Structure 1
């Protein structure tokens, strides 16, 4: 989001999910789309069947990679090098959109000079991707009339995540692949309402609609609406909160719908922080690993037990309709917050989520035309500034949100932790098709547990032979921060020198291993690359 805001002025998916099938070239990088976002993945497969060429950059040979026209099997954390090399080829071959660059962007000459150093041959030495494959991918992407990039947390969970996104923005603007149907730069959000949560100010430096807390006019507007002073200092991101809690600066936390005791990096530090709090409140639909640290657990409703809205990854505001009454003592999240606020001396007068949406519209320019009576159909894509506005299927049609798109050269920042003799392998983490996030919901479903009953580690056959590991062996995976145990899957689907562990499973939580180094701008942790070793445990999976 920070990278897109810098280059284009808006941190959101530029185009619509339905436009995927209109694209002639799809470049998927840092996303295992068919497992992480299966419905979007089905659109990608449909586009390929319709003749679109698919380029996939991934250290694993995923379902999409197997069906790609070109699979760029890069080393984790080398995305900037790959993208800069593609830009180098496009400029050297004269394949850039000169008219678009001249009319709608700034900073091209600086970028042009900077990427001269990033030849495909130099990129090959760093990424492990053959120079000729980089050239082919660049020429195919630049040669399409309509090309779209899809990316996810394989791009944004690095110590250089903002630079990764900026590099992709450079590639999109260089070729004029933005502001038209079937083009664009499309971040695929990790959960169903990430876009909506960010739009509503669930970030440390903004209120709704990305209105900065440092802006006195913004604070005055919300003061009039809420009757309360708004702090003028940005808060902390989640990793920064846990660091502050561990240091004793933060004394209490209120965690809603999140399970950081499994999902955060460097879990031993997170556990120490949670255990050291003077007071912890957890609000969730199940007793999660995080809730076990709590002093108070507030039972929330599931999606089926409440009314509301979600804003999808392509900015579509959709109605959520209650199907059954809340179970037990559970309540909708908004109602819990209203009742808690009243007990703390601040009275909120909402009687229904539609009233909250009306307030959102009154305070948030991009949601100004949204109301429940307009959401009876398939929903409306924001920005939707007034009640007669039809919504916005794709962004940046005639101009960028910031005026002109800005090319920003980016340097290569290697992963914060290098491999060595003691820790010779790179660990990357991710999801599988059958489970979601920390398994809070999916691991309670028998069918899904039969499909994927527990943790595992993927290892390349060359590495497995080197470390004396056979398929099915229970192995120990160790980093400088922790150790877990899981059965080995020996497979050529993972790049040599890299191992993969899904992060769903608390009994072998991958994040005991990951490093808590942050991107300096977005403050996202480097979850996708750290150094580990692996050793046989002397037992087979299933042994007692």
Structure 2
């Protein structure tokens, strides 16, 4: 939550600390576990659990082949907790029995049920492609809309109020939200806030991936960190020269409310002059996990720059991919973001439900 998913991570932690009791279940100690958990439960990895997964299709099973320390699977944790709180709602003897219920008692969209137990799926002699996997013929059927396979009444068409493909949601009309795509400038941009742009002349974007990591995962893996030891921000060589930055320098990225983070500059023509791209999801397992550092999760966190409550129509969409900033080299003795947050609580205070500096949104003309 703190290293990756939260707009304004300091605010997120402050909110979570108001929850009376928090349990974090995770295979690894993370910044969030250190920052908010009363108890941390070690979770079993795939080879330590009996489970199944159905991301639509196919059904896949996992079979426990080993165990380590006190780690338990999600299924075990839920079952044991459920039996203590409301045993009549948790009648399954073990994780295998619960998986069988999950597989066989749930209706597919066409009203059919899966007809094999978890154990039968594991053995799966009828499927020579791979034991433990079962594919769904319905999903592999083409042109289902012509064959009446999508609607409960069996008629041709799609499962929509009109039976047709609907290029917009009629619910949007009901809610007073424009159903068609439209463009609106971010709350801060060269066009929407030209005065701010004079002092913060760089457009910052983020969210790009690198092959070594998945969001905030895998920073604790030595091989991945050997390939990619530090967070990188791409800067055009023209801007490097303009702002006294060299390739490999640690630099600060700061916005109009004083929020900032630091990453290593990568001089490259991959970005245009006046643009930078920063990596997200960074934390440093090799650093101190205790408060206020929390494995350095605030110090290189792009989300320091993002803010809650700034959304588009209907609460959809937020300005977390484009914002204004300035960049400058780090110096010895600079105050780190986690120290600012420890002292002040956040970079800038704002009332719940209100942005930091309300900006009048530009008028948008939609051509239909």
Matches within 5 A, 1:483-502: 483-502=260-279
Matches within 5 A, 1:50-449: 259-292=1-34, 293-312=36-55, 315-322=56-63, 324-347=65-88, 348-350=90-92, 351-353=94-96, 355-359=98-102, 361-366=104-109, 368-370=112-114, 371=116, 372=118, 373=120, 376=124, 377=129, 379-380=133-134, 389-392=137-140, 397-398=145-146, 399-402=157-160, 403-408=163-168, 409-419=180-190, 420-430=197-207, 431-439=209-217, 442-449=218-225
Between the two proteins, the alignment pairs up a number of residues equal to 271
2:348 counterpart residue number:
none
State the distance in 2 between where 1:360 and 1:518 align.
39
Distance 1:341 1:354, change over 3 A: closer
State the distance in 1 between where 2:315 and 2:105 align.
28
Secondary structure, aligned partner of 1:355: helix
Secondary structure, aligned partner of 1:477: strand
Alpha-carbon offset, residue 519 of structure 1 = 5.1
Residues 380 and 391 in structure 1, CA contact (< 8 A), matched pair in contact too: no
Secondary structure, aligned partner of 2:205: strand
Distance 1:397 1:464, change over 3 A: farther
Deviations 1:166-213 (A, max 9, x none): xxxxxxxxxxxxxxxxxxxxxxxxxxxxxxxxxxxxxxxxxxxxxxxx
TM superposition score normalised by structure 2: 0.65
Matches within 5 A, 1:509-524: 509-516=301-308, 517-518=310-311, 520=313
State the distance in 2 between where 1:505 and 1:333 align.
26
2:341 counterpart residue number:
none
Residues 4 and 215 in structure 2, CA contact (< 8 A), matched pair in contact too: no
List runs of 5+ in structure 2 lacking aligned partners.
147-156, 169-179, 191-196, 284-295, 333-368
TM superposition score normalised by structure 1: 0.45
Residues 251 and 265 in structure 2, CA contact (< 8 A), matched pair in contact too: yes
State the distance in 1 between where 2:78 and 2:22 align.
15
Distance 1:323 1:426, change over 3 A: farther
Alpha-carbon offset, residue 395 of structure 1 = 7.5
Residues 461 and 491 in structure 1, CA contact (< 8 A), matched pair in contact too: yes
Distance 1:324 1:426, change over 3 A: farther
Alpha-carbon offset, residue 354 of structure 1 = 5.5
Distance 1:328 1:428, change over 3 A: same
Equivalent of 2:233, from 457, 481, 499?
457
State the distance in 2 between where 1:393 and 1:327 align.
42
Alpha-carbon offset, residue 471 of structure 1 = 1.1
Alpha-carbon offset, residue 397 of structure 1 = 4.9
Secondary structure, aligned partner of 2:241: helix
2:321 counterpart residue number:
528
State the distance in 2 between where 1:452 and 1:339 align.
40
Matches within 5 A, 1:6-21: none
Q: Which has the larger share of helix?
A: 1
Residues 61 and 121 in structure 2, CA contact (< 8 A), matched pair in contact too: no
Secondary structure, aligned partner of 1:476: strand
Aligned-CA RMSD value: 2.8
State the distance in 2 between where 1:311 and 1:529 align.
35
Residues 458 and 501 in structure 1, CA contact (< 8 A), matched pair in contact too: yes
Alpha-carbon offset, residue 468 of structure 1 = 2.5
Residues 107 and 113 in structure 2, CA contact (< 8 A), matched pair in contact too: no
1:60 counterpart residue number:
none
Alpha-carbon offset, residue 276 of structure 1 = 3.1
State the distance in 2 between where 1:521 and 1:356 align.
38
Deviations 1:95-128 (A, max 9, x none): xxxxxxxxxxxxxxxxxxxxxxxxxxxxxxxxxx
State the distance in 1 between where 2:316 and 2:27 align.
28
List runs of 5+ in structure 1 lacking aligned partners.
1-258, 540-544
Distance 1:522 1:361, change over 3 A: farther
